[in-house]
Every structure is written in structure tokens, then in C-alpha cells.
Amino acid sequence: MPRIIIKGGVWRNTEDEILKAAVMKYGKNQWSRIASLLHRKSAKQCKARWYEWLDPSIKKTEWSREEDEKLLHLAKLMPTQWRTIAPLIGRTAAQCLERYEFLLDQAQAKEGEKDEGEDPRKLRPGEIDPNPETKPARPDPIDMDEDELEMLSEARARLANTQGKKAKRKAREKQLEEARRLAALQKRRELRAAGIEIRKHRKKRRGVDYNAEIPFEKKPAQGFYDTGEEELPDYQPDFKKLRQDHLDEKMRDDIEQQERKKDKEKIKKRKENDLPGAVMQINKLNNPDSVKQRSKLVLPRPQISDTELEEIVKMGQASETARLSVEDSHIASNALLSEYSVTPAAAHALRTPRTPAEQDTVLQEAQNILALSNVDTPLKGGMNTPLKESNFEGVTPKHQAIQTPNMMLTTPYRTPQGAAGEGATPRMAGTPHRSGGGVTPGRASVRDKLNINPEEALMEEYENGYGAKQQQEEMKAQLKAGLASLPAPSNDFEIVLPETDDGGAEEVTDERFIEDAADIDARKMAMKEAEALRERKRQSQAVQRNMPRPSDVNVTVLRPANIDPPLTGLQKAEELIKREMVTMIRNDVVNHPTALQIENLTQKKTKNAMQAVLASNRAALESEPLEVFTEKEIANARQLLGGEIEFVKSKMAHGDLPIESYTKVWEECFAQVLFLPTQQRYTRAALASKKDRLESLEKRLELNRTHMTEDAKRAAKIEKKLKVLLGGYQSRGVGLTKQINDLYEQVEQAHTEKETFRSLREHELRAIPKRLESLREDVSRQTDREHQLQSRYSNLLYERDALYSQIPQQ
């Protein structure tokens, strides 16, 4: 009894691949031959597999909405005729059926009649798939069955058969063809060498060039999205060495571990090389104070500042309070004080109108079909099954076009508006007016209680024509009616005179008057300046005139307090004056240091000495402070002094001293002042010995020399700097001068040339008529000569003719 093998079952990946290869080899008409390659599948199943799944023209993408619509519509028109419907939709019949059932399931679920958790069509364990041809292939197990492997190797051998009769014949033919081609090539080459050019004519080949084109090629169907421009990486893997880990991305843990290892090594290395640096870095990282420095967050300036916002809020509050203060909600005040805190209800009308809700036609159709299929026998009678709108009009389903709601076609400016809707009969304007600006037509301002906007807009609309006039008249009438209700005016006034007199009022204003801050500042400044001036006046003359002042006080001018012969009155007075002078100088030293003093203070070398001097003077000044005098006292003192000077002058008979004599005297006196370097003091020249004088002079010369060298150095430095600074200018100046000189020479030369040419021209101008004259003379002379010769010749001719006439007579 022959063993019965039932073929079929789920398709595997190997089987699919073999099937595809076999179809490539044998075509789509030898299914039994193809099936012989696959032990577990029959010819029919192979064919089904090809046409239901493997054919590259099968669309395996998602179902689109149009396809769904079409499917339902066609299913309605041609129930259960899937083979007819399928090509119309562009899917396989099985796909169509599956989708149809899926859609019906969905519709049923929507109705909520059967609410099952899971898909009823899903295979339960133990069930056998009735049509495995339409399902994706099952992946191959790692350890394939013996017979499967056998099948695979056999299929491979058969499909790639090169040892058969036909293959051998083909190879032979190919070889022959090649030899023929080479011979032809050789022949042509030789002919060309011999000078005979044979144009190579291509033999028109019959059949298909398998290298150039793919026979019966069917490109896979397009999906929803255009993948043409996708850039895939040019990845050509080396399959021989490829392992799974190469394809997988690296594990994150591994990467982190590697990085950690690297860090550790780095730290270790650093510790070896630069221990303090490493420790410092660790400390720095551990230090909580070291916060990462971040740059400041820079945001754009707000368009409305806080103060402005506050202002707006305040304004709103102000209007609110104003509204509250008007207790009775009078209409007029209401119109003026509109409420801004709440957007009025009319705002709902401000919404952008949306498109009408779209009906899910697919679902509707599916429900219809479901209802029709679930219907009882019509023999029962009764009402027809209620159907939702469904049409059988065409082959294709009717499309519902979604329309954008037209804002333009609504009646302009006359949309009903809340309370003002009394006169809101929609006006039909002849042509809808298109307003050009940003105004949304048809929507007037929400809070326009004074009717400002719409009327303006209306004016604009009815600019020309009767409508405008009518509108205006209407308005006028309305206004008149409104004003008619006003009470008649009664001209009774009450005048109240102000009670307080003008002066008081003025004072009040003066008190309220706030002086400008700038004025106050200016006044303060002026006061300060005056104070400073007064202060300056109080200072000593030397400071006031900014004269050279001593940096220390010579106390030796003072006589010792108690010497043996008591001082005379005059000496006492002198002493008092000196004391005062010393105090004044001290004050100047401490409080008004000269430039030299300041410089000395800032310099390191002289700083300490200078500070010591200052401190001692300050101490002395504290023990004997400078008396402060009022201006009046000083003026009095000055007056007294002046009077004294005048008195002395008149008594001693001093006249006005001319400056020359004064200078002379001063110079003589100055010449007498001599510095003694050995004793470090000044003395009078007359009192010094010759040696001292010589020494003093030598010292001065020495000093001058040092000054000289310093100055010379300074001058040299400045000169060097100037050379750098002005060198460029100088060189440019020199260059320019040279160019100018060259140009001068050229100009001179050119000038000479010009003059030469001019005189030459004059010469030539004179020469031309002269030459012409002489030539003309020559010519006329020659002409005369010619004339003479001509006449002579004519005479001769005449004579000859006469002679000739004599000859024939003879």
C-alpha cells in the first residue's frame, strides 16, 4: 500500500527561496517541475504561494483609505466575488477578503455588540492554518531536518546545473562564438593595416540580451512614501567574516566600562608623572566650593516690560473702579466703560469656523454591509433593514469633498451681534465686498457699543450709490430720535467767586512748587565752589600762586627760647613772626604737598624719609595748630601792613623801584648765596673762604654735569623715538622732493622742446611759400620754353608739309 503523504503546511524561508529561484529558472508555467524541488509542497500550492505572496508585484503595504472605500463599495456591488474585485483594487483576492473581514469586525466592535478581547481570527494553538500561502514565511530553524537539508542541496544542484546536455551545448556554442568573434577582429585589424576600412556593422541580434535587460521584470509596487531619495549607506559587508556582534551596536555597559578603564589608566599615569598636579585635581573635584562656571543665561528682552504690564493692570483696575463708581448701570456709561476683565460671550462667534465633522464613510459602509448580511429572510415581511446613506451609483465609491467654510461670502458687517441684534436683518449685498486690509470681514469689534467700526466700514462699502445716502439718513433720523428725549436746555448759571485772595493762593502754589533737581545741584555746586574759593583765599600766598615751596621746615631760624641776654622787643616781635611763619609752612607741607613731594612719596627710595618728615611736621602742627582767621581779620591785617609799607616808604624816601635795578640787586644778592657742600648749608659768599668757594663751584659743576648727562640721555631717547615716528614721513618727503626735482627737469626740457618746435614751425611756415614760389617759377620757365618749342615744332611741321607737297609734284 503506497504511503500517502499529505503536502502543505506553513511555508518556510528555504522553501520560499527555492521557489523563487525555481521560478526564475523554469518560469511560471511548469509548476509541477518546480514542485518537484520542494518535497512538502504540491504544484498547486507552489503556484498559490507565488501568486499570493512571492510575486514582486503584490502590494504588501498598508491599506489606504481609498482602497478601503473601494473595497467596501465593490464588495457591496459584487458580493463574494473576490477574484473579480481583487485586480480592480490592486491586491490579491486573499488580501481583499482578509481586509474585508477585518473591516466588518471593526464595525461590529464599534457597535459594541460583541466586545471580545482578542481577535477571533487569530489562530489558536492546535489549529491549522487553512491557507498558509498568504502568510509570511516561517524562519528556518538553526538545526534543519536531514531531509530538508537534502532537499536544499538537491535543489541547489539542479538549479545551478551546468553539467547537463543543454548546459554543455551552450558552453560549446559560447566558445565557438568567441572564436568567431576573435577571428573577425583579427581580420578587421589586418584589413585596416592594409588600408581597407570595413565598417563594423552590428548584427541585429534576435531575442533578449540578458546582460542588458531583465526579462519580464516587474518592479515591486510602490508604498505610501517615496523611497527614491532615501540615502542608504553604501554598506558592502564582508559576509565571510561577518558575525552577529558586528551587526549589533555596542552595548552601553561595555562602552562605559571601557571609558572607566581609560580614565583609571589616565589618573594612574598622571599620578606617576605629576603627583602634586593629580592630587590638586582630585582636591579640586572634591571641593564643593568649586562650582562650574556657567555663562550667563541671555534671554531676549521682553517686548512688554514689567512696568508696562503693571501699567496695563493699573489701567484695567482704574477702569474697573470707574465702572463700579457708576452704580446704576446706565446705558450711556456702559457704552463708555466697557468691561475688559471678561471677554463677552460674543467672543464665541470669533472662533475660526471649522470644517463640518467628517463622517467615517468606511465604517459606515462596513456597518451597512454588516446590517445587510445579518438580515433575516425577507419573507418575514416588515420594514427594510435601516441603512445609513449608501449609494450604488457608480463603480467607484462617491467621494465626499471637504469644503473650507467660506468667510468671504457671509453678509458683511451684519452678523448678528448680541444686544445690538435688533436691526440685524441680513442685508444681501450685491457683490460680496472684499476688504483688503487685515480686518476680518463679517466680524465687527466685539465691544463696539458706540457703533464706531461697522458704520465706517459700511460707508466704505456703499461708497457709491444710493445705499450710502440712505444709510446716512437712517442714522440721522435715529440720532434725532435719541436726542429728542433730552430735556430742553435752561440757561440758569450759578457763579461762585473764589473765597481766598490771590496772594494766599500764590503762596500755596509756591509751597507746592518743587524745585528742579538740576537747579538744586547747580546751587550746591556753586556753594561748594564759593566755599573752596574762600578756603583758597585763606591759604598762604605761596599755595595760592602755586609757587615752589619747601618740603621741610627749617626750624633753626628760631632763636632758642631762653637765652642769656633777654630779647629786645623788636627781637621778640621778629620771633613771633618767625614762629607764625614756621607754623604756616608746616601747614602747607602737611596739607598742601607740592608735586615734588607727592612724587617723592610715591617713589620707593624717598618714601620713608618723606613720610618721616611729614609725620614730624604733623606732630608739631598738632602741638601748635595754625590759627584760623576770618576774612575780615585778614583784610584788616593786610590793610595794616599796607599802611605800614606806605609809611616806611614815605619815611625812608623810597621811590618806585624799576625792574632792572631790582633785578640787578637781586642778582647781586643771589650771587652772594653760596652752598657749602662740606657743611651742608648755605652761607654768604663774602663770609666763605677761598677754598670753600672753590669747593662750592666744583660741586656745582659736578652737579651740572650730572644734569647734563641726564638731559643728554633723555634727548637722545626722544630723538630715537622721533626717528621712528617721523622716519616714514621723512623718507616719503625725500622721495617726493626727488620726484618733484625730476619733474622740474622734465618740464624744463619739455618747455625747451616746445619752443624749438614752435620756432621750427615758424621757419617752415616761411619756407613753404618760398619753395612753392621757386618751384612755380621753374615750372613757368619750363612752360615758356615748351611753348617756344611747340611753336617751333609747328613751324617745322608746316615747313615739312610744304616740302612734302613739293615732292609729289616732281
Partner 1 sequence: MAAVHEVAPDALPYFDQGYDDPGVREMVNQLVEEETRRYRPTKNYLDFLPTPDYDAFETPILRKEFERISKRQPMDLLSMKRYELPQPTANQKHDITSWTEAVDNSMAQLEHQAERIENLELLSQYGSAAWKVHNETLTRILAQQQKKLMDIKKEIQEINWKRKTEQTKAGGELQHLEQRLVFLIFWPLAVICSRSIVSICQLHCTIHLVDGPFTC
Which listed range, 373-381, 400-408, 653-661, 707-715, lies at the site for partner 1 (CB under 8 A)? 707-715
Sole binder of partner 1 in the list 156, 187, 261, 705 (CB under 8 A)? 705
CA dist., res. 229 & res. 765, Å (int)? 89
To partner 1, the closest distance from the beta carbon of 721 in angstroms equals 7
Contacts of 89 (CB under 8 A, 6+ apart): 67, 70, 71, 74, 96
User: According to CB under 8 A, which residues from 13 to 52 bind partner 1?
Assistant: none
Residue 715 as a binder of partner 1 (CB under 8 A): the answer is: yes
All three cell numbers of 422, joined, read 435688533
Nearer to partner 1, 505 or 789 (CB): 789
Nearer to partner 1, 555 or 747 (CB): 747
Question: Cα–Cα distances in Å, from 202 out to 182, 199, 205, 206?
Answer: 15, 9, 8, 12
Residue 721 as a binder of partner 1 (CB under 8 A): the answer is: yes
Nearer to partner 1, 287 or 806 (CB): 806
CA dist., res. 118 & res. 387, Å (int)? 28
- Of the candidates 14, 81, 83, the one whose C-alpha atom is nearest the C-alpha of residue 48 is 83
Nearer to partner 1, 390 or 696 (CB): 696
To partner 1, the closest distance from the beta carbon of 750 in angstroms equals 4
User: DSSP secondary structure string, 15-76?
Assistant: HHHHHHHHHHHH-SS-HHHHHTT-TT--HHHHHHHIIIII-TTS--SPPPHHHHHHHHHHHH
With contact defined as beta carbons under 8 Å apart, do 366 and 104 qualify? yes
Nearer to partner 1, 180 or 705 (CB): 705
User: According to CB under 8 A, which residues from 297 to 356 bind partner 1?
Assistant: none
Which listed range, 240-248, 300-308, 425-433, 692-700, lies at the site for partner 1 (CB under 8 A)? 692-700
Q: Which residue has the cell 631762653?
A: 562
To partner 1, the closest distance from the beta carbon of 698 in angstroms equals 7
CA dist., res. 372 & res. 364, Å (int)? 12
User: According to CB under 8 A, which residues from 432 to 471 bind partner 1?
Assistant: none
User: According to CB under 8 A, which residues from 739 to 798 bind partner 1?
Assistant: 739-740, 743-744, 746-747, 750-751, 753-754, 757-758, 760-761, 763-768, 770-772, 775-776, 778-779, 782-783, 785-786, 789-790, 792-793, 796-797
Residue 719 as a binder of partner 1 (CB under 8 A): the answer is: yes
CA dist., res. 584 & res. 634, Å (int)? 14
Which listed range, 325-333, 390-398, 514-522, 701-709, lies at the site for partner 1 (CB under 8 A)? 701-709
With contact defined as beta carbons under 8 Å apart, do 8 and 45 qualify? yes
Nearer to partner 1, 681 or 705 (CB): 705
- The amino acid sitting at 494 is E
Nearer to partner 1, 176 or 708 (CB): 708
Which listed range, 121-129, 159-167, 354-362, 693-701, lies at the site for partner 1 (CB under 8 A)? 693-701
- Of the candidates 70, 78, 29, the one whose C-alpha atom is nearest the C-alpha of residue 51 is 29
Residue 673 as a binder of partner 1 (CB under 8 A): the answer is: no
To partner 1, the closest distance from the beta carbon of 520 in angstroms equals 42
CA dist., res. 389 & res. 397, Å (int)? 12
- The amino acid sitting at 28 is K
Nearer to partner 1, 621 or 674 (CB): 674
All three cell numbers of 412, joined, read 458683511
Count of residues that interact with partner 1, criterion CB under 8 A:
71
Nearer to partner 1, 611 or 794 (CB): 794
Question: Cα–Cα distances in Å, from 434 out to 298, 431, 515, 577, 640?
Answer: 45, 9, 59, 104, 101
Sole binder of partner 1 in the list 111, 308, 456, 711 (CB under 8 A)? 711
Residue 647 as a binder of partner 1 (CB under 8 A): the answer is: no
User: According to CB under 8 A, which residues from 722 to 741 bind partner 1?
Assistant: 722, 725-726, 729-730, 732-733, 736-737, 739-740
User: b/e string for 625-653 if b means 16 or more Cβ within 10 A?
Assistant: ebeeeeeeeeeeeeeeeeeeeeeeeeeee
Residue 803 as a binder of partner 1 (CB under 8 A): the answer is: yes
All three cell numbers of 195, joined, read 588600408
Nearer to partner 1, 290 or 752 (CB): 752
Nearer to partner 1, 60 or 664 (CB): 664
Residue 684 as a binder of partner 1 (CB under 8 A): the answer is: no
